[in-house]
A and B are shown apart, each in its own frame.
Chain A
Amino acid sequence: MFYLIQAITNILIAIAYVKPKVNYCQGMNYIASFLLHLVKNEEETFFLMYGLFENTDFSQIFLDDLIKLKQYFYVFERLIMLYLPELHYYLKTNSVIVNYFTSSWFITLFTNSLQYLPSSENPNVVLHIWDEFILVNKLNNLKIYLINFNTW
């Protein structure tokens, strides 16, 4: 346990060092932990996380006072309104703001909300989402979040 905690700390501080604009934001530890469980190697985890920030637009959500994240919130809410109007109405009438629960989806890429179960019979949903995210790498991958939302 101690080794894992130390490894996650090392990875996160190293990311903060090599990506100073991104620095560290709450929730990144879930991503580091997820990747570390996946590859079981601290150094490889660092490079995977570095690649995630370097080669996708994921890091943008942490920049400039989280402007991109706020944009995601807005687009996501509009998507709910367009594609799930009943749900949108329900949320609205109960004063539920989607940011409350979607912020952690965006920031941790579902690693804190969908459990990673490598040996389970359940499909590894998080990895499928990550595949989609890395391959598509566009704002329109918000459809993933919408599908996820709809199935709940």
Chain B
Amino acid sequence: MKKKIKYQDLLKKIDSLLLNKSKENEEFQNTKEIIDLDINRTYFETDVEEKRKVKNNKLIFN
């Protein structure tokens, strides 16, 4: 396993990517949004089904 990855550095890098609203980062920002929606649905049962269907073409449960 590549333990040389510094987890905290990685999180900082990701934070800056998410803050930088450029075109290149758009896909990654969408991923973050999908993760948030999925976690909200799992743990808080919010009604996000329709949004997720549109956003994530990998969804297969619906």
Within the complex, the shortest CB–CB distance from A121 to chain B, in Å, comes to 27
Bits for A24-40, please: 1 = Cβ < 8 Å to B, else 0.
11110110010000000
Within the complex, the shortest CB–CB distance from B6 to chain A, in Å, comes to 10
Contact of A29 among B2, B10, B38 (CB under 8 A): B38
CB pair B31–A23 under 8 Å, yes or no, is yes
* Interface residue range, chain B: 20 to 34
Which of A9-17, A75-83, A87-95 faces chain B?
A9-17
Within the complex, the shortest CB–CB distance from B10 to chain A, in Å, comes to 5
Complex Cα distance, B14 from A14, in Å, reads 7
Contact of B1 among A8, A27, A50 (CB under 8 A): A50
With a cutoff of 8 Å between Cβ atoms, the chain B residues found around residue A107 in the complex are: 60
CB pair A12–B11 under 8 Å, yes or no, is no
Within the complex, the shortest CB–CB distance from A126 to chain B, in Å, comes to 17
Interface residues of A (CB under 8 A from B): 1, 5, 8-10, 12-14, 16-18, 23-27, 29-30, 33, 42-43, 46-47, 50-51, 54-55, 62, 66, 69, 103-104, 107
> Can you name 9 A-B residue pairings with CB atoms under 8 Å?
A5-B39, A23-B31, A23-B58, A24-B38, A24-B58, A27-B61, A47-B5, A51-B1, A104-B61
